[in-house]
Amino acid sequence: MAITIKNAREIDAMRRAGLVVAKVHVAVEKAIEPGITTRDLDDIAKQIIRDEGATSSFLGHHGFTGRICASVNEEIVHGIPGKKRLKEGDIISVDVGAIVDGFHGDSAWTYAVGAIDEESRRLLDVTERSLYVGIAAARAGSRLGAIGEAVESLVTAEGYGMVREYGGHGIGRSMWEEPHVPNHGKASDGVRLRPGMTLAIEPMVNLGGDDTETLGDGWTVVTADRKRSAHFEHTVVITDGEAEILTPRLAVVV
């Protein structure tokens, strides 16, 4: 499938989908505390997505049973919400997707459960920064590889492992569209970015090594060395200037 360029009406639908996703994040972040289950967090997402008149991007996708992916500690992505109870000191990555008027928004964030150790705090900070350097590199006229080069150079300079088997993606009428958006590579690689391209940029960064495994549930991706991992993601649209973030938390009025 070719890369699609969205028009103003389509970008507006994606902005509205992104706002629903951002609302879920604001509510989930507020609810996260020791003792809550990942299913409780999924229920919050269910309620907000329904109240907003949106639908979940994830529920039913290849049989997935949640509205969020909830990935705790060594889990990188695609954790299934369930009975797992969060404990003080855990970190949890929450990934949410919502559809409004046929268009998707997709954003992930890693949260601290109560007080976390310094090592985990730094992992979260570096991963979040790597998302923003990736977004800053997503400019019309540059190539797709500029995003991966920016993310990778920060993450490796900070001494962390990089997840290379998974990455970001084009997004729009489908949650996954062309192109694949790697979190590594060279600025000279890939297609040239153009205004109206919509991308999910989503670095996944490990305290230890790069390698991953998928658990027996067929979904949950974990670090091979079982060290912690963080995941930060925004959906953005390429413009004539800086990319516009379509899933901005600050737009949510609480």
Closest CB 153 distance from Mg ion, rounded Å: 22
Closest CB 19 distance from Mg ion, rounded Å: 16
Q: By CB under 5 A, what part of segment 82-111 binds Mg ion?
A: 95, 106, 108
- The contact mask relative to Mg ion for 217-236 (x = CB under 5 A, - = no) is ----------------x---
Q: By CB under 5 A, what part of segment 115-154 binds Mg ion?
A: none
Closer to Mg ion at the Cβ: 94 or 126?
A: 94
Closer to Mg ion at the Cβ: 59 or 85?
A: 59
Closest CB 159 distance from Mg ion, rounded Å: 25
Q: DSSP assignment of 170-196, as one string?
A: E-SSSSSEEEEE-SSS-TTSSPBP-TT
111: enclosing H helix or E strand: strand 103-112
**In whole angstroms, what is the distance from residue 59 CA to residue 48 CA?**
14
Closer to Mg ion at the Cβ: 28 or 141?
A: 28
Candidate residues 41, 113, 193, 200; the one interacting with Mg ion per rule CB under 5 A? 200
**In whole angstroms, what is the distance from residue 18 CA to residue 97 CA?**
8
Helices (H), the chain: 8-31, 38-51, 118-136, 145-157
Closer to Mg ion at the Cβ: 108 or 144?
A: 108
Closer to Mg ion at the Cβ: 89 or 251?
A: 251
Closest CB 8 distance from Mg ion, rounded Å: 23
Query: Under rule CB under 5 A, how many of the chain's residues touch Mg ion?
Result: 5
Closest CB 117 distance from Mg ion, rounded Å: 26
Minimal CA–CA distance to 171: which of 102, 124, 229? Answer: 102
**In whole angstroms, what is the distance from residue 37 CA to residue 171 CA?**
29
Closest CB 181 distance from Mg ion, rounded Å: 9
**Residue 64 contacts by C-beta under 8 Å, 6 or more apart in sequence?**
58, 80, 219
Q: What angle do CA 141, 174, 163 make, to 5 degrees?
A: 65
Residues lying near Mg ion in the complex (CB under 5 A): 95, 106, 108, 200, 233
